[in-house]
């Protein structure tokens, strides 16, 4: 493999007077490549052009002056310029900035900005079928269903028609050949509308009004909108969106998990009379193309999306909102490794526009930026209307343990019973999918492990499978122990949500139950359906993972039981306590949202821990202050900076040799500390052996500079890989 970083080849200037230009391709290459501009083509910075690369044609963007580092004979010509608005200057600066900060190839970042297949395919209409002459062929039962499906509407797109009629696409194409169906052109329906900022919003409370008035001013810079769940943060930032629309600019809202946004979309549509554009992985190719182009043209006024929406080519972005800004889902862990919240702040800064970060439990980083005056601060102190914050109690599992082989303590059982008796809903929260996190042999102690990863196999009893949650490996549960061959000796160890649901079923057989995890809530439609069932009280007991924690309104839910509050605290993650606080606080916020009082029971083996005490007392700020003190003392973020370097390869000895070599060349200087190489907690992942370095620097030392110097001469061989993670959030 080549060097990770571009080397500075001396320019080999050519005397010819050709016009040359640098074109960046959406590929993980070192930088822009030089191309010749043929006569008859005029290009400007940002123009989309088609250029040859090897034997292919690739779409690229005119990025800058030529580097003149290639002999003329080797240069190729631009093939065509795409007639389309150019990639805006801010987008280009942003891409360069992100690449530079994350130490990734600019082309890899550009790829995120162009992540749409056939971006420029002209399309005015879409193929659909209408009824032709049914008598021109035999009318079988399935063909009749097709004709029936078309009885109600003038035409339907092929996929939709096949689904409605329950036939395969080949039935349709055969009917079209025979003339029983006609191919017609359906006009394209835009996947978004034109939100109307003049529609009235709700009557805001004085505190909400004050916050909204501040945001409407639209000062450039970052504002933290801090308020408990249900305090009306969404209503308040809707006012900022309305103001942005009135100024004729585009607004972007980043949400951590797009699968959970159905309620958000409904609220937005109700407030503004039309749905926003959406950007996430579940869009169809057509929706992506239409949305992408509409963003570039400036027609899509509001976009809501997952982190990748940040890289869309906004023509005139006027506002960015990052909702639930503390969520780790904003960190992208593969490909270009970046933190979308932080990059949103950068994007806002480049464009000199406002950025709003909203959360009930802001990240420590953001709080620090408020305290040091870098971010503005707006606070909504109370829940809207009569809703009160729930009472939180700790259950000390050492004093009141659950019976053997069960996980619900006597106080929690009693609280569930009382809740069900009042015909209210209860939620049991455990952030662990499946039935049991570990299966072991009672005879010899053997533990079932993934063959590709250093991780236990998780039993999923409903599926009848053992699964690795890291690589997707699956196997049926073994009938006998693979180590000692004892029959029927394999036993589940520890609880997952399925097992807690089993216990709840035994205790409360008459209560209806629903398990909500990423396994049962597969995709936005399914998720929305399950959430609706809960909201409309079609189930009594919900057992769920963190998927349940995020901003939903369940008016009948009055009890939340946290089955294992200590779960996230083990391991060496510097944000473990902070994250536990955020997650459990958010889960607790599901209880008692309407006029019913809520109760939260938190089961823990160590109630004296500051995080548990803070949850109990609802004293966020004191807990944050303690956490911040610890981080300051340790020089950890936000008081110092971190970067991780992860080596991996198929051969553990080779990875170790490479690690030793890197360690020898590691920088030593004031304000810099290099820890490692150490085996990663996931020392084996997808068959690759992994070692980690952690670079820790003082706040005034940029880890990028240190890494560039350290790693610029390093070449990786064979299948060795070196990944860099600036501001790491995962230490696995």
- Coil/strand/helix, residue 409: coil
- Least spacing, CB of residue 372 vs ligand ADP, in Å: 25
**Which of 236/674 has CB closer to ligand ADP?**
236
State the residue for tokens 């406002």. Answer: 354
Cα–Cα distances (Å) from 710 to 5, 9, 94, 679, in that order, read 11, 19, 25, 20
Distance of CA 224 to the CA centre of its chain: 20
Q: Which does 453 bind (CB under 5 to 8 A by kind): ligand ADP, Zn ion, none?
A: Zn ion
For residues 548 and 431, give the distance between their C-alpha atoms in angstroms, rounded to a whole number: 10
Taken in order 197, 202, 206, 208, the sign of the CA dihedral is: negative
- Coil/strand/helix, residue 49: strand
**Which of 233/301 has CB closer to ligand ADP?**
233
- Least spacing, CB of residue 646 vs Zn ion, in Å: 17
Q: Which does 108 bind (CB under 5 to 8 A by kind): Zn ion, ligand ADP, none?
A: none
680 scored as a contact of Zn ion (CB under 5 A): no
**Candidate ranges 10-18, 326-334, 412-420, 464-472; the one touching Zn ion (CB under 5 A):** 464-472
Q: Which does 231 bind (CB under 5 to 8 A by kind): ligand ADP, Zn ion, none?
A: ligand ADP
Site residues (CB under 5 A) for Zn ion, limited to 263-292: none
255 scored as a contact of Zn ion (CB under 5 A): no
- Coil/strand/helix, residue 473: coil
454 scored as a contact of Zn ion (CB under 5 A): no
The candidate with the shortest Cα–Cα distance to 436, out of 472, 408, 477, 399, is 477
Give CA torsion, residues 153, 154, 160, 166, to 10 deg. 70
For residues 497 and 516, give the distance between their C-alpha atoms in angstroms, rounded to a whole number: 9
Q: Which does 450 bind (CB under 5 to 8 A by kind): ligand ADP, Zn ion, none?
A: Zn ion
Q: Which does 544 bind (CB under 5 to 8 A by kind): ligand ADP, Zn ion, none?
A: none
- Least spacing, CB of residue 730 vs Zn ion, in Å: 16
- Coil/strand/helix, residue 249: coil
- Least spacing, CB of residue 553 vs ligand ADP, in Å: 6
Name the strand (E) or helix (H) holding 458: strand 458-460
**Which of 468/504 has CB closer to Zn ion?**
468
**Which of 172/378 has CB closer to ligand ADP?**
378
| Cα angle 660, 704, 374; round to 5 | 140
Cβ contacts of residue 51 below 8 Å, gap of 6+?
23, 25, 33, 35, 57, 58, 60, 76, 77, 78, 79
- Least spacing, CB of residue 383 vs ligand ADP, in Å: 7
Q: Which does 650 bind (CB under 5 to 8 A by kind): Zn ion, ligand ADP, none?
A: none
**Which of 229/604 has CB closer to ligand ADP?**
229
Q: Give the contact letters, 468-507, x = binds to Zn ion (CB under 5 A), - = no.
A: x-xx-x----------------------------------
Q: Which does 269 bind (CB under 5 to 8 A by kind): Zn ion, ligand ADP, none?
A: none
For residues 288 and 294, give the distance between their C-alpha atoms in angstroms, rounded to a whole number: 10
- Least spacing, CB of residue 230 vs ligand ADP, in Å: 4
Q: Give the contact letters, 51-80, x = binds to Zn ion (CB under 5 A), - = no.
A: ------------------------------
Q: Which does 468 bind (CB under 5 to 8 A by kind): ligand ADP, Zn ion, none?
A: Zn ion
Q: Which does 235 bind (CB under 5 to 8 A by kind): ligand ADP, Zn ion, none?
A: ligand ADP
**Which of 179/482 has CB closer to Zn ion?**
482
- Least spacing, CB of residue 453 vs Zn ion, in Å: 3
Compute how many residues bind Zn ion; rule: CB under 5 A.
7
Q: Which does 613 bind (CB under 5 to 8 A by kind): ligand ADP, Zn ion, none?
A: none
For residues 123 and 290, give the distance between their C-alpha atoms in angstroms, rounded to a whole number: 9
452 scored as a contact of Zn ion (CB under 5 A): yes
- What are 251's two structure tokens? 């607004």
For residues 439 and 442, give the distance between their C-alpha atoms in angstroms, rounded to a whole number: 9
For residues 596 and 602, give the distance between their C-alpha atoms in angstroms, rounded to a whole number: 20
Does residue 638 have a cis peptide bond before it, meaning omega lies within 30 degrees of 0?
Answer: yes
> What are phi and psi for residue 534, nearest 5 degrees?
-70, -50
- Least spacing, CB of residue 317 vs ligand ADP, in Å: 22
**Which of 229/467 has CB closer to Zn ion?**
467
Q: Which does 605 bind (CB under 5 to 8 A by kind): ligand ADP, Zn ion, none?
A: none
- Least spacing, CB of residue 584 vs ligand ADP, in Å: 17
- Least spacing, CB of residue 233 vs ligand ADP, in Å: 3
- Coil/strand/helix, residue 28: coil
453 scored as a contact of Zn ion (CB under 5 A): yes
Residues that bind ligand ADP (CB under 6 A): 202-205, 208, 227, 229-235, 384, 551, 553
Residue pair 294/192 in contact (Cβ under 8 Å)? The answer is: yes
Residue pair 172/146 in contact (Cβ under 8 Å)? The answer is: yes
- Least spacing, CB of residue 273 vs ligand ADP, in Å: 16
**Which of 471/601 has CB closer to Zn ion?**
471
For residues 685 and 297, give the distance between their C-alpha atoms in angstroms, rounded to a whole number: 43
> What are phi and psi for residue 574, nearest 5 degrees?
-65, -20
For residues 282 and 302, give the distance between their C-alpha atoms in angstroms, rounded to a whole number: 18
Q: Which does 470 bind (CB under 5 to 8 A by kind): ligand ADP, Zn ion, none?
A: Zn ion
211 scored as a contact of Zn ion (CB under 5 A): no
**Which of 34/235 has CB closer to ligand ADP?**
235
**Which of 202/335 has CB closer to ligand ADP?**
202
**Which of 381/476 has CB closer to Zn ion?**
476
- Least spacing, CB of residue 549 vs ligand ADP, in Å: 12
Residue pair 590/548 in contact (Cβ under 8 Å)? The answer is: yes
- Least spacing, CB of residue 373 vs ligand ADP, in Å: 24
| Cα angle 488, 494, 498; round to 5 | 90
Does residue 677 have a cis peptide bond before it, meaning omega lies within 30 degrees of 0?
Answer: yes
- Least spacing, CB of residue 267 vs ligand ADP, in Å: 7
For residues 105 and 5, give the distance between their C-alpha atoms in angstroms, rounded to a whole number: 9
Cβ contacts of residue 638 below 8 Å, gap of 6+?
364, 365, 368, 369, 631, 699
450 scored as a contact of Zn ion (CB under 5 A): yes
**Which of 147/204 has CB closer to ligand ADP?**
204
Q: Which does 321 bind (CB under 5 to 8 A by kind): Zn ion, ligand ADP, none?
A: none
- Least spacing, CB of residue 455 vs Zn ion, in Å: 6
Q: What is the SS3 assignment for 251-317?
A: EEEECCCHHHCHHHHHHHHHHHCCCCEEECCCCCHHHHHHHHHHHHHCCCCEEEECHHHHHCCCCCE
**Which of 155/263 has CB closer to ligand ADP?**
263
Which stretches does DSSP call E strand in 520-658? 541-544, 557-562, 599-604, 640-649
Residues near Zn ion, by CB under 5 A? 450, 452-453, 468, 470-471, 473
């Amino acid at each position: 493999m080549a060097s990770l970083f571009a080397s500075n080849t001396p320019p080999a200037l050519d005397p010819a007077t050709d016009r040359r230009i640098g074109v960046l391709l959406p590929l993980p290459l070192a930088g822009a490549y030089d191309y010749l501009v043929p006569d008859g083509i005029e290009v400007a910075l940002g123009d989309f052009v088609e250029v040859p690369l090897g034997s292919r044609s690739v779409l690229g963007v005119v990025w800058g002056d030529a580097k003149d580092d290639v002999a003329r004979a080797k240069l190729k010509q631009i093939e065509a310029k795409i007639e389309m608005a150019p990639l805006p200057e801010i987008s280009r600066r942003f891409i360069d900035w992100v690449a530079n900060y994350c130490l990734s190839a600019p082309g890899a970042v550009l790829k995120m900005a162009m992540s749409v297949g056939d971006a420029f395919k002209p399309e005015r209409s879409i193929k659909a079928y209408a009824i032709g002459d049914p008598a021109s062929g035999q009318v079988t039962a399935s063909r009749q269903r097709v004709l029936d499906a078309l009885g109600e509407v003038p035409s339907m797109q092929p996929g939709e028609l096949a689904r409605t009629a329950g036939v395969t696409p080949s039935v349709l194409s055969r009917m079209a050949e025979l003339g029983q169906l006609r191919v017609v052109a359906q006009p394209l329906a835009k996947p978004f509308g034109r939100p109307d900022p003049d529609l009235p919003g709700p009557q805001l409370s004085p505190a909400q009004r004050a916050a909204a008035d501040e945001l409407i001013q639209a000062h450039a810079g970052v504002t933290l909108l801090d308020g408990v769940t249900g305090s009306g943060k969404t209503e308040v930032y809707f006012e900022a969106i309305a103001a942005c629309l009135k100024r004729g600019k585009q607004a972007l809202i980043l949400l951590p998990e797009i699968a959970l946004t159905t309620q958000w979309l409904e609220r937005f549509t109700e407030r503004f009379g039309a749905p926003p554009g959406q950007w996430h992985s579940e869009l169809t190719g057509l929706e992506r193309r239409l949305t992408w182009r509409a963003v570039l043209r400036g027609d899509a006024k509001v976009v809501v999306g997952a982190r990748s929406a940040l890289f869309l080519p906004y023509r005139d972005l006027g506002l960015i909102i990052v909702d639930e800004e503390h969520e780790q889902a904003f960190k992208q862990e593969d490909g270009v490794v970046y933190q979308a919240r932080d990059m949103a702040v950068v994007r806002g800064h480049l464009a000199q526009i406002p950025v709003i970060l909203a959360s009930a439990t802001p990240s420590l980083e953001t709080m620090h930026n408020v305290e040091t005056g870098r971010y503005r601060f707006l606070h909504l102190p109370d829940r809207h209307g009569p809703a009160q914050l729930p009472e939180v109690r700790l259950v000390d599992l050492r004093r009141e343990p659950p019976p053997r082989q069960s996980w619900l303590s006597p106080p929690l059982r009693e609280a569930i019973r009382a809740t069900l008796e009042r015909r209210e809903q209860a939620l049991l929260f455990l952030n662990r999918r499946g039935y049991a996190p570990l299966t072991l042999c009672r005879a010899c102690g053997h533990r079932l492990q993934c063959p590709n990863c250093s991780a236990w196999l998780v039993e999923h009893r409903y599926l009848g499978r053992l699964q690795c949650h890291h690589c997707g490996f699956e196997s049926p549960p073994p009938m006998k122990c693979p180590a000692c061959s004892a029959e029927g000796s394999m036993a589940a160890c520890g609880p997952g949500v399925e097992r807690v649901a089993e216990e709840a079923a035994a205790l409360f057989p008459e209560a209806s139950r629903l398990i909500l995890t990423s396994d049962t809530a597969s995709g936005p439609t399914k998720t929305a359906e399950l959430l609706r069932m809960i909201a409309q009280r079609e189930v009594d007991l919900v057992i769920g993972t963190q998927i349940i924690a995020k901003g939903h309104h369940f008016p009948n839910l009055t009890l939340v039981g946290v089955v294992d509050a200590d779960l996230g605290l083990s391991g060496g993650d510097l944000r473990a306590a902070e994250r536990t606080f955020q997650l459990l606080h958010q889960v607790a916020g599901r209880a008692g949202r309407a006029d019913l009082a809520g109760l939260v029971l938190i089961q823990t083996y160590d109630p004296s821990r500051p995080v548990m005490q803070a949850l109990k007392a609802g004293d966020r700020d004191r807990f944050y202050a303690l956490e911040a003190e610890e981080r300051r003392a340790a020089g950890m973020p936000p008081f110092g900076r971190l970067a991780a370097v992860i080596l991996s390869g198929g051969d553990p000895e080779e990875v170790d040799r490479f690690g030793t070599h890197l360690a020898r060349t590691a920088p030593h200087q004031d304000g810099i500390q290099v820890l490692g190489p150490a085996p990663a907690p996931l020392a084996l992942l997808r068959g690759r052996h992994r070692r980690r370095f952690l670079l820790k620097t003082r706040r005034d030392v940029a880890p990028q500079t240190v890494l560039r110097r350290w790693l610029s001469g390093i070449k990786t061989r064979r299948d060795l890989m070196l990944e860099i993670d600036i501001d790491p959030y995962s230490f696995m």
